Amino acid sequence: MKIQTDAYEAAAYLALPNSQPAPGVLVLHPWWGLNEDIKGVCDRLAEAGFVALAPDLYDGRITTTIEEAEKYSELMDEDAAAALTKAAADALLAHEGCRGNQIGVIGFSLGASFAVGIAHDQPDAVSAVVLFYGLGWAEQTKTQASYLGHFAENDPYEDDEYREHFEQKLKENGRPATFHIYPGAGHWFFEPSRPDAYDPAAAERAWERTLVFLKQTLG
pLDDT at 22: 98
Predicted model pTM: 0.97
CA distance 6 to 140: 24
Looking at every residue in the chain, the average pLDDT score rounds to 97
- Grade residue 219 by pLDDT with cuts at 50, 70 and 90: confident
Mean pLDDT for 166-174 is: 97
- Using one digit for the tens of pLDDT, what is the confidence trace for 72-121? 999 999 999 999 999 999 999 999 999 999 999 999 999 999 999 999 99
Cα distance between residue 119 and residue 122, in whole Å? 5
Q: Where exactly are the structural domains of the chain?
A: 2-218
Q: Assign 2 to helix, strand or coil.
A: strand
Q: Which fold has domain 2-218?
A: Rossmann fold (3.40.50)
Residue 123 has pLDDT above 90, yes or no: yes
* Distance linking the first and last C-alpha atoms of the chain: 25
pLDDT over 80 at 51, yes or no = yes
